[in-house]
Structure 1
Amino acid sequence: MKDPVDTLTPMGVMVLALLRESDMHPYEMVRLLRARHDDRLLTITNGTLYHTVSRLQKSGLLDEVGIDRDGNRPERTTYTLTDAGRCAVIAWVQRELPRVDHPTDFRIALAEAHNLERDDVIPLLGERRIALVEEHALHRDGLVKARAKGVPAQVLVEIERQEVLLDAELRWLDSLLTRLDADSLPWGPSAFTDSDRYLAQRKAAQQ
């Protein structure tokens, strides 16, 4: 039998992560994702999200907890996270956070990394740092060799860009790890507070 984590899509991870906060109906999920500007990470459409919810339910990662009808509005089915779904979010983030070959998935994993405890996140990011150092050295040394061989500069611009991006990410990652190590950055599910802005977002999304 296939591991549910292997079939999770980035959208599926974001849906499950939302349900870690509270039970919700899909319409609320869409509005909350857009209010938080998570559509900068992936395309969010009503059709895609409703299809994702259906797939997650069939996989046993979420379940229905009720159907509401308010006035002339269509019925809204509210979903809750199952134990399997809660574990799947954590397992997916743990798998994708250290990887350097899935850049899109990494952005989702990083956005949901606050669902992991500090002691889990630090070693995973440490693994990623090792992989980034190797990747950066490969691009840097490749550029040196190519230039020494007289390779035309115009065909090296993509490699130059990637080398710069890798260098920048390493500097950013070192800064993040320093803050995590020093406990100067509040982290983990228990460190998240229900701010007035957060509560206002939730209330607006429920309308």
Structure 2
Amino acid sequence: MSDENSKPDTGTPETAAKLAETLAAEPARQGEAADAAAPETVEAAPDAAALQAEIADLKDRLLRVAAEMENTRKRAERDKADASRYAAANFARDMLQVSDNLRRAVATLKDDEREGAAESVKAMIEGVEMTERQLLSIFERHGIREITPQPGERFDPNLHEAMFEVPGTEHPAGAVVHVLEGGYLIGERLLRAARVGVAKSEGAEKGANVDTTA
């Protein structure tokens, strides 16, 4: 009796036909459900790619901003250092005249005159020389150094200023012959050009053989 109850009740032929149609349509419905879910997966892929591209763009912008800020910081530090280094340029340029006068004062005294001078005069001369050396030491400590050329050196328009030409010298045309006033640099900048006289080429017009342009 239990076996008869466990068998599906197909009922009438019409019922059996409907059951067959239902079973046949089931795979089709499952396929439609899968097709309906597929577009969501396909649409999700472009969103992920766009997100990755946006992240990469933001990262690139961040790196550019960081690099620009670092360059700005370095420029600010460099400008600050330059301002500190060259702030006293005008004062130092004026002090060069003091150094020139001290040097001229010592140079005017001949050796024999110095030997025959009184002890007080000798002490004064030594004091002037000591003052000049101390001033030059202070210049050096603050990055100011002398660039006075030696006779025979080639004229450099970036460092020297030609005041006159000297004909009939043993030096080649354009070479420094005489130094009127020493030159100085402060850091890497020209504080004062050395004022010099240069050798003139025989038969050349004045100034034709010397390049005085920087």
The TM-score by the shorter chain falls in which range?
under 0.3
Structure in which a larger fraction of residues adopt helix: 1
Question: Normalising by structure 1, what TM-score?
Answer: 0.23
Q: Larger relative CO (CA 8 A, sep 6+): 1 or 2?
A: 1
Structure in which a larger fraction of residues adopt strand: 2
